[in-house]
Structure 1
């Protein structure tokens, strides 16, 4: 049963007009006096194992099916260590995000938040009035990035479904059921030992341009930025989130490495996205391809619902409340058609998910969490001796900005070239 907070301590009482969060706890002692867990309404809280499972499921989406192509672009000597580094980098930044959220729960007396809530609250509780005014804008920026990521994922799902159906119908070689993804890893490993038992012919390294393409694809395949805060909100013991994200990201790194390395070893220069397109058209291969189609179809609907409802929350205010359902159906139709048009214009999965990974995921996973952490610790407990937190956090942000800007630029060039020159579409798939 949800507990009632002490009168005057809720983060939404006596708030300034237009401001959702306000600073309640003025000292560290007041922060520690508030136990946000006891005020949460979690009928079925998750234990450590369940939380790890949710992190892994949230990260291993359709992006993992293109991991072998990402490894081909970077070369194995570059891809393997960078795969590990990006996994650790993302895991640590997401840990900072949740750690900041837990401080904000105590400061605002609001026991649960979403990612956009955390960004808004971090600004709203800052001592600088100029930063406080930016709170809503920061929230809208995070909302925009999440919507771009999920809508873009829907476009990539449509491409995967179309390619898989085309291959099954035409019976040609080229063109959540979470267990299916795990099964794909096993099949990729089996193909590697069958087709290339000595692991020969794998490119050790390529070019900076190709590496930047790899960055976006690899980051996209490991992203769980949209689920970590809800997972922490539902944990039985949120203090164990650090352990959950460590184990979870470790499994994610292992999974992406397995399907990427062994998939590349199996198919080499013939590697194509999604990896199921490379599977033989025997009975087992057709079952896997069909299962992937069903899985992606279901995931498409789930992924579409979250960003659409976020966008509709803003645009429905411009219409008659009595006709809300009608307008929701109209906008749903418009958005689905728009996503399909994007998939038709840019039918190459690699460049699309590379852009989403470099632009959206790098922002949400590498840049925003350290910024939020800065806002939270700036006044209390401060930047530390010799301002080490400032320097360390700045490095995290600078590296994230570099990969975001450079990776986005490279993938935008690829997307534009595909739109201008349709004859490149086939060649870019390999």
Structure 2
């Protein structure tokens, strides 16, 4: 047995035991060698997965349907949901396959990419070392982008709630919101976040139910339905749906922290159950919201509701739920930046008070999301931008590359798998370019 320092994480290597015929044992199960203090149960993991997906994205779905059209939006959401779920499956299974090859208990997403390229085609192997930082950058940018979206969302909903009593600027509301966010950011244990996630899920579901009730009960706006949408605005829809449905930034973290990780990707496991529920709920809210307000859908459907007591309560519920969710979304970038880059440097320089420096990093990242939110307070375009820019790569391209490389040189890699993975990569790249360009153009127009 030996230890190896990789990307700031110490991995335990289990030496292979030769068989009598000269081959090696192939019965190493990474799941059995994981040491996960405060491991989460299946239910706790499902709660975390739902909380990561049931956020501001669901409230932006009506506006997304207004951009894509009713029929196109419904079909495309289901298809994208199926594709994303499949890519999450191959991401988890590829990581497990790579752990078996390396005989290590776990690998993070960036480490998996690095190891995969080393085992992949010779043309990709020179990019192995740089691949891990690239994945880290995409994950950190995406998760911090979610933080920006959450700050704008909370501030806009609180402003809509309080403005009838006392009107203030959106920036001032963001400053007020930062106080509880900084407090929640200090929570360091994922298991301790489970009760908060459960509360946030309950508040979100109650809020969604009330929103759906009003969408069904109130008088709908009169006008023509757009069934098929426009090609020019479809990239904005694509980015929004990716942002809303994809929890790729936390999937590996959640699976790695499970008491029973094998149940995560099983047929009726955490991933399938969670994603099926999420996709159906998003389609329902998207359809009902679009039918209610047609082309006048705002960045969040809650802002289209009438200024009545119950809708105002809904605004408060969502604000509290998203505030709680903020800390879970920031957990991932803090873990990456701290454990992979900052802490190893501090240990190398024999810096003391590491806990204090970790809290400094947490506060710094939280303030960074605040600054970005103040500079560009465009909720809907923020959602579309980070969805298209980051999730096209993290949720589609990278999982396909991982599967291709992890199976390279094995009988399990057939022509069908190669063609399928290449098509997924091409689809992801086209979606990223089209979605990012269209959104950036819209942001420039909105700020000019």
- TM-score after normalising by structure 2: 0.80
Q: How much has 1:368 moved relative to structure 2?
A: 0.3
- Aligned position for 1:416: 444
Matching of residue 370 in structure 1 with residue 400 in structure 2: yes
- Aligned position for 1:83: 77
Q: How well do the aligned residues superpose, as a CA RMSD in angstroms?
A: 3.4
Q: C-alpha distance in 1, partners of 2:264/2:358? A: 40
- Aligned position for 2:262: 238
Q: Deviations over 1:74-112 (max 9, x none)?
A: 111110000001000101111111111111121111122
Q: 2:352 aligns with which of 300, 319, 322?
A: 322
Q: How much has 1:278 moved relative to structure 2?
A: 2.2
My pick for the range that moved more, 267-276 or 67-76, is: 267-276
Distance 1:15 1:67, change over 3 A: closer
- Aligned position for 2:273: 247
- Aligned position for 2:388: 358
My pick for the range that moved more, 55-64 or 86-95, is: 55-64
Distance 1:390 1:159, change over 3 A: same
Assess if the C-alpha contact under 8 Å between 2:65 and 2:290 holds in 1: yes
Q: 2:91 aligns with which of 93, 97, 117?
A: 97
Q: 2:203 aligns with which of 150, 173, 180?
A: 180
Matching of residue 289 in structure 1 with residue 315 in structure 2: yes
Q: C-alpha distance in 2, partners of 1:14/1:63? A: 38
Larger relative contact order (C-alpha < 8 A, sep ≥ 6)? 2
- Aligned position for 2:424: 396
Q: C-alpha distance in 2, partners of 1:20/1:45? A: 18
Secondary structure at the aligned position of 2:377 is classed as coil
- Aligned position for 1:428: none
Assess if the C-alpha contact under 8 Å between 1:180 and 1:292 holds in 2: yes
Q: C-alpha distance in 2, partners of 1:400/1:380? A: 25
Distance 1:114 1:348, change over 3 A: same
- Aligned position for 1:204: 227
Assess if the C-alpha contact under 8 Å between 1:351 and 1:411 holds in 2: yes
Q: How much has 1:355 moved relative to structure 2?
A: 0.8
Q: C-alpha distance in 2, partners of 1:214/1:202? A: 17
Q: C-alpha distance in 2, partners of 1:410/1:165? A: 29
- Aligned position for 2:181: none
- TM-score after normalising by structure 1: 0.83
Assess if the C-alpha contact under 8 Å between 1:126 and 1:132 holds in 2: yes
Q: Deviations over 1:328-375 (max 9, x none)?
A: 565555544432232122211111110111111111101000001111
Q: C-alpha distance in 2, partners of 1:91/1:373? A: 14
- Aligned position for 2:139: 146
- Aligned position for 1:275: 301
| Structure 1 unaligned residues grouped into runs of 5+ | 1-6, 422-430
Q: C-alpha distance in 2, partners of 1:74/1:43? A: 45
Assess if the C-alpha contact under 8 Å between 2:407 and 2:413 holds in 1: yes
Distance 1:25 1:208, change over 3 A: farther
Distance 1:408 1:322, change over 3 A: same
Q: How much has 1:113 moved relative to structure 2?
A: 2.5
Q: 1:162 aligns with which of 155, 161, 166?
A: 155
Count of residue pairs brought into register by the alignment: 407
Q: How much has 1:299 moved relative to structure 2?
A: 2.1
- Aligned position for 2:369: 339
Secondary structure at the aligned position of 1:227 is classed as helix
Q: 1:171 aligns with which of 143, 146, 164?
A: 164
Q: 2:216 aligns with which of 193, 215, 223?
A: 193
My pick for the range that moved more, 284-293 or 357-366, is: 284-293
Assess if the C-alpha contact under 8 Å between 2:215 and 2:292 holds in 1: yes
| Structure 2 unaligned residues grouped into runs of 5+ | 171-196
Distance 1:365 1:14, change over 3 A: closer
Q: How much has 1:209 moved relative to structure 2?
A: 1.7
Q: How much has 1:179 moved relative to structure 2?
A: 1.7
Q: Deviations over 1:230-284 (max 9, x none)?
A: 3333152616614223332211110111221112222223321222222333332
Assess if the C-alpha contact under 8 Å between 1:23 and 1:124 holds in 2: no
Q: C-alpha distance in 2, partners of 1:35/1:18? A: 20
Distance 1:26 1:119, change over 3 A: farther
Q: Deviations over 1:369-394 (max 9, x none)?
A: 0001111011123532xx22111111
Q: C-alpha distance in 1, partners of 2:68/2:242? A: 13
Secondary structure at the aligned position of 2:352 is classed as helix
My pick for the range that moved more, 38-47 or 186-195, is: 38-47
Distance 1:389 1:282, change over 3 A: same
Secondary structure at the aligned position of 2:249 is classed as coil
Secondary structure at the aligned position of 1:321 is classed as coil
- Aligned position for 2:185: none
Assess if the C-alpha contact under 8 Å between 2:4 and 2:11 holds in 1: no
